[in-house]
Amino acid sequence: MSQGLIPAIGSKGKFVLKTPWSLNADAEYICQSLQSFQVLSKTGVDVYKNYYSPKGVPVETYQSDQASGVVIVGLRNSTGSYVFVPSSFILSVPDRSGYAYARRFVTVELGPLEVTTDTTALQNEISQLVTTNFGVNPTLREVELPIEGIVSQTDHEAIVAARRGAVTAPNTVESKYRELQVMYQALLADNQAKDAMLIQAGLIAN
């Protein structure tokens, strides 16, 4: 007695079935479900009546499969059609020796920002970072979730000041703004020092 071949859920490719079950030899199928006789019976499904009898399979085969722990495998093709077959009637399953692939997503929440904030430069940097690290060209989409209510002028200025103080990346708007502030304060101090020297020399009035 044997369970036959039980594919992993998600297995995709060419399956070969034993008569009286058959599949389109050119079509790919994906394993969508694995259901034991016990679970099906608990949900009110007559396994023999629903799966074996319509194919003309004798009840003795069903009883042997039941004792062996055979499961009902649900296979779906690209058109959405299903074939339900006992695992004892599966002759071969897709080769699983390759590599499993999946579409991957990395999300980044920026937190609350003014709706006028331009993220183009940031998106370009992220895109370049992904390309240089993984060799793929990512698809970036900006999503905006409105915040209920309006931020007051005082809170807005506090948030902006806190953000500017935390920015360390070069060549960003915030870092350039901070650099200009430093340059302005230095120039202002230099001018004040020169003015003091000219006043002390009597060249200009105080």
Model pLDDT for residues 54-83, shown as the tens digit of each residue = 999 999 999 999 999 999 999 999 889 999
Same domain, 21 and 82: yes
- Return the ∠ at Cα 84 (arms to 4 and 67), rounded to 5°: 40
Q: Give every CB contact of residue 136 below 8 A, 6+ residues apart in sequence.
A: 130
What is the residue range of 186's domain?
A: 150-206
Tell me which of 199 and 45 has the higher pLDDT.
45
Shared-domain flag, residues 138 and 166: no
**Are 75 and 87 in the same domain?**
yes
Do 25 and 65 sit in the same domain of this protein?
Answer: yes
> What is the share, in percent, of the chain residues with pLDDT greater than 70?
88
Question: Does residue 95 have a pLDDT over 90?
Answer: no
Q: Does residue 159 share a domain with residue 131?
A: no
Count up the domains in the chain and report the number. Answer: 3
Average pLDDT across the chain, whole number:
85
Domain identity same for 41 and 87: yes
88 inside domain: yes
Check whether residue 21 and residue 70 sit in a common domain: yes
Q: Say how far apart CA 36 and CA 54 lie, in whole Å.
A: 19
133 shares its domain with 163: no
